[in-house]
Amino acid sequence: MNPAWLEQACFGSNLPEQVEQHLYLAGLNYQNDQIAESHLFQAQALAPGHAAVLIALYRFYFYKGRLLDALEVAQRCLIKAARDNGLNEDWRRVQPGDAAFGSYDAVLPRFYLFTLKACGYLQMRLGRLEESRVVLNRMLELDPTDKLNASVLLKVLYRHGREDEDE
């Protein structure tokens, strides 16, 4: 969901040692879903709403193919990112001038856009094509220079189901 610079810039700070330990143990036990998820939940209980914990949960669910769970966590991340940026919690009401979305150095607005992109992608993967289209188009409104490549996902979305028609 996010590049290394973004993670390093704002997600590792102020993370209690116990939380770090649980995230580390979740990674070590990745192959055992029950143990890994237990550590993620313990980290969440100790640092509810911390971006590092939310991202770890998101990645776990995403890479395990638990896309509905990943979407739920991505939506929680979007609300957190909205609050951190002083934005409306309803992404449909966020406007381009509400944050420095065009600045690649503005970490929090970039996190918001990355999270919005994750939501749009997951909606597409879940077959919720219209919702995906709406989310990705909003992303393009917020990022009109398309630095985060929402247009690539929109092209995939528009191609969806058309392969058979082309033959």
Tens-place pLDDT, residues 7-44: 554 555 678 999 999 999 999 999 999 999 999 999 99
**What is the pTM (predicted TM-score) of this model?**
0.86
Under DSSP, the state recorded for 1 is -
Strands (E), the chain: none
pLDDT at 20: 93
pLDDT at 106: 82
Per the CB < 8 A criterion, the answer to whether 28 and 39 are in contact is: no
Contacts of 106 (CB under 8 A, 6+ apart): 99, 100
Say what the pLDDT of residue 104 is: 74
Confirm if 77 and 110 have CB atoms less than 8 A apart: no
Q: What is the DSSP letter of 11?
A: T
CA distance 42 to 147: 36
Give the position of tokens 């055992």.
Answer: 32
In terms of C-beta density within 10 A (0-12 exposed, 13-18 middle, 19 or more buried), how is residue 13 classed? exposed
Positions of the chain with pLDDT under 70: 1-13, 161-167
pLDDT computed for residue 5 by the predictor: 44
Mean model confidence pLDDT for the chain: 89
Whether the Cβ atoms of residue 60 and residue 31 lie closer than 8 Å to each other? no
How many Å apart are CA 118 and CA 2, to the nearest integer? Answer: 9
- Please state, in angstroms and rounded to a whole number, the distance separating the CA atoms of residues 44 and 58: 12
**N residues, the chain:** 167
Give residue 6's pLDDT: 47
Which pLDDT belongs to residue 107? Answer: 86
pLDDT of residue 102: 84
In 3D space, the residue among 104, 107, 109, 103 whose CA is nearest the CA of residue 91 turns out to be 109
